Structure 1
Amino acid sequence: MDTLKGRHTPLRRSLWAVGVYLLAGGLWITFSDYLAGQWFPDPETLNRVQTYKGILFVLVTALVLFLALMRQFSSDRTILSLHHHQREEIRELNQFRESVIERANVWINVLDPSGRIVLWNTTAEEITGYRREEVLDSDRIWQWLYPDADDRARNRARAEEILRDEGELVGYESCITTRDGRQRRISWNARSLRNENGEKVGAIAIGQDVTDLREAEMTIRQRERQLSTLMDNLPGMAYRCRYDDHWTMLFVSSGCRELTGYEPDELVNNHRVSYAELIADGGNGGVLRAVESAIGNAESFSIEYAIDRKDGRRIWVWERGRAVEDNGDLVLEGIILDISDRKKLENELSELATRDPLTGLFNRREMTRLLDEEVARAKRYGRALSLLWIDFDHFKEINDEYGHAAGDSVLKATSALLADSVRSVDVIGRFGGEEFVILLPEMDRAEAWETAERLRTLIRETPQPLGDGRTVPLTISIGVSVFPDHGTDSHTLCAEADRAMYQAKSSGRNRVVLAPLVQEAHNP
């Protein structure tokens, strides 16, 4: 009805204008002729007045027509301009739709109040595989995207909430099924649409395909779990620390707890204690030198040192690490293992290699090495060095009468007594059988003689246990040689002391004999 009314409006206006013109013209002619006849009775004058009146009428009507046309033309120009502007807006809207909506890299679709699709952009086609012509003005897409009835009902209910303007969707995720049967995860943002009168006319939904992102996140989480599991099961502590004086820990694995006794967060950023404080006996200097050398050579480092745990127990650790660059700064990454058991085993093996298994004293090889070192030191500093060569008197009789077990007991007890009776700087070792050697650094002939006599007297006055509760008396014979009086090398000193010991035995045993001076030994 409004359309018909709009169509007849120009006709009515035209008829109304013509009617007004005819009425005005009729009134003008009628009244102007009457007035002219009343005012100008002279025919000639009346004729001229009629002529002027006609010209005036033409001029007035021309002016009115001119004004009417000007108004109409102005109105037409305004309308044309408005139409042109509207066409430009329509063109710009089309361009906007083409450039923003159609070419957007997100899925954009608009629903009418019934949930049917009224806008379906190119990205929606690419993600789902369904063309615009298939989905517009239809709600079949719900079944295609969500073939599972429960899933479809759940997502349809969320869409209807938006259509009823009962909230917005932000980051809501749903899993769709594409035309080719693939599963894609979409993150939705949606809200209702209203027209200029505030009436609800549908809803707009913007979806982003986050399938690859979620898969990447899942992969990262799996790797983080794997890394965490690996770190938690490492036989030590993995770390990442600053290259500073405190070895400030930026990360430590849970192995920190078993290794140091501290919780990880107690070490990180020196919250309670710095790692440098755990390194025992001033070992920081050695660690620093090893790290600096490795950095200078662009290689990894391996270090062994002791640390003090939270419970006060000292353990040995082995650290393997490397310097890496992090945002322009050097940091260290590596692993620290508890090697206390290995260190203990090494010490035990070292003991086996250098110690006599029966007495626990140094063996012949180690004593020879230590004697060489002491001779070299004595030469370097010009100091004296004495050597005692000890042999047990009649020891074979103890073995023959009481057995070798009893003899071993006597050897152990006597060697322990000798070791406890010398200075801490002195070195005692077993050369084999019942022969023992004692090194006395910085001790001259007189002092060595006094020490030898004291030890001889101590052994003679101390009954030695047989291991079964019984004891036996024992005496020793001692030969003494002194550097440089009796020789300037280890071989000569040993030979002279051994010779002096045999002289003590041949002189009746249980005595001390000082080796003769070099010149004395060569006198006839």
Structure 2
Amino acid sequence: CMFWRKTLAAQDAAERAKWDQANRNMDEFIQLMIDIMPNPAFFKDPRGLYRGTNSGFEKLLGLSKKDLIGKTIGDVAPGEIVEKHQKHDQSLLEKPGHLVYEAPLQAWDGEHHVIFIKTTYTRPDGAIGGMIGILKDITQRLRSEEEIEQLRKFSDSTVQTMTEGLVLTDSEGRFTFANQAAAHMLGITPSEMVGREGLSFVPEDQHPIVRQADKNRVKGISGRYELVFLHKDGTRRTFLVSGGPRVQGSRFGGTMAVLTDITDRKHMEEEILALSLRDELTTLYNRRGFMTLAEQQLRTASRLKKKVALLYLDVDDLKKINDSGGHKTGDRALAEVAFILKKSFREADIVGRLGGDEFSVLAMETTKMNVDILSKRLQEKLDLFNSRSSAEAGFSLSISVGVFIREPEDPATVEEMLSRADHLMYEQKRSKKSGDLGKPPGPSK
């Protein structure tokens, strides 16, 4: 009995040691990541203790890393400032994800006004490890919509990075760290990756790609490329690899890389190419293409518990344009609308022409504030066309829009979202015709 207790105790100790090492590797990775950020940044544990900072954060506060590590914000900032930050931190830990807010910060030369971008991260053992904070000092400059949008994108990309595959290798190409997401992509556990050579997970026909990437990193060159990996079940999975060199002292110390599984996207692109799901006039997705991609994106959004917005758009008075200028003029109007939609929305959004004068956009990871920004950008580009090109084109453009935002728990299908957004679009169109200049119907949920 004593023998078994000692054996179990030894096994428990070994298991704890394994996870402790994995957590230390995670800390090392996050420190490497914030060290290359241009903005002040830090990360801290759920108790609020700083575990790592970069030089920008230390310079802003006028404190050394030694003065900050193991301390809380209450140890380095006045009480009236601390309370607001602690409330935000508590809210973020209770509902993990990311958060953007403005707040004062006591810097070395006085109080600064700062935009804080905070995101939680998960440790290899599955527990919330704490949060990463990125700062944008706006004390000496006016905040513009463009800056806020850039920060939002930066925050989104940080969150996305932390939920994708993260790996570190040594100078010999062996994995020294792999997060849960990276291992899950291959159907294995992190411990089954650590210590093994990266080439052992890649089919032989892909080895030249890996060797060329390694040569570039030894020279200090980062890279972004597609690479096929072998899943545990024997299937081939296509990853987008974004990697750069790790430097130890003045020598090459290995690679830091982010892995994104794009297998489903590649298959979808092949299907779309085969089915010719593009509208010939506008080059946007036609109804079939839009529905195919939108349904796939809704499944992804449901799995990741993300909000999705669907915009239903109708070109106002297209019949009048056709009647006055002919169908060629009407076709040009539709092509101009398509061009404006492409420029107004993000690359990740799905834009399609459903038929006639009706268009639709599926915007991923969207809040009401984001929809308002996108709608404002669309109206600005319509106004720009009308002021610069309408005289030459022989027509001006106006669009009625209905917006429906689907919550993560909402089971609404693409067809149901289209129906609800279509109803809201016609409410706005009726308001225009009746001369009601009040605010058009906002996004519905």
TM-score w.r.t. structure 2 length?
0.38
TM-score, normalisation: structure 1: 0.33
**Higher RCO structure (Cα 8 Å, ≥6 apart):** 2
Greater Cα radius of gyration, structure 1 or 2? 1
